[in-house]
Amino acid sequence: MFDAGPVQQTVRDAFRDQAKSCERLGSPFMARLCRLAADRLNVENPVGRRVLSWPGHPSADADALALRLFGALHALVLLHRDEALERCYPPNDADDAALWTVCEGALARHADFILERLRSAPQTNKVRRSGALLPGFLTIAGLLGKGLVLSEIGACAGLNLHWDRYRYALPNGLWGDDAAVVITPEWHGDAPKLRPVEIVERAGCDLNPLEPSG
């Protein structure tokens, strides 16, 4: 394990903390990657040097450095740009040695691609978050009896601005369109009364807006 200086130790600690968060959120593979990087990332390639000398704060509450790095690797997998890396990603399996070997290879082969993506904070667009929005909107619609104007700051790709276009399985029934995306929130307490909700207008803004179909 290569380690020298307080900056690198701070980065490694941030990756270990991110691993714990990933485990709590049900992402064991991401947790595994974070721990491997915390123990084995080195300065032998440009990406490793950049990460281990990060000028800001690498924690999840600040620059989210671990998510930036592994978001870039995941993008390589989704874009089918690295077959070796793809073969070690779920649903495939590999031991720690093999997994980190292909990760190191990808860091070297795609350094420019990864370094560019390290410049931007990760965009999180999980539509499961809409499961927390729905009860509030149902309650507001019931209290006011009016259509809703949706305005979102930090909308990223705007996927949660379209919360009304998903289908929800709630304790008291189904709500929403017959959509392919079905959200099943874990529910505690009384569920809101199911009712139609009219969306009058919707708009979002973001410092780095993304095109979800791109």
| Judgement on whether residues 18 and 95 belong to the same structural domain of the protein | yes
Per residue in 180-211, pLDDT (tens digit) is: 889 998 888 888 889 999 999 999 888 777 66
Per residue in 14-32, pLDDT (tens digit) is: 999 999 999 998 899 999 9
Q: For residues 200 and 177, what is the distance between their CA atoms, to the nearest angstrom?
A: 17
The total number of residues written for the chain in this structure: 214
Per residue in 49-102, pLDDT (tens digit) is: 999 999 989 998 899 999 999 999 999 999 999 999 999 999 999 999 999 999
- Tell me whether residue 132 is in a domain: yes
- Domain boundary among the residues 64, 88, 117 is at 117
Is-contact 106 83, C-beta < 8 A?
Answer: no
- Overall domain count for the chain: 2
- Tell me whether residue 210 is in a domain: no
pLDDT of residue 163: 92
Whole-structure pTM value = 0.71
- Tell me whether residue 122 is in a domain: no
Q: For residues 120 and 188, what is the distance between their CA atoms, to the nearest angstrom?
A: 36
What residues make up the domain containing 143? 127-205
Tell me how crowded residue 98 is: count the other CB atoms within 10 A of its CB: 13
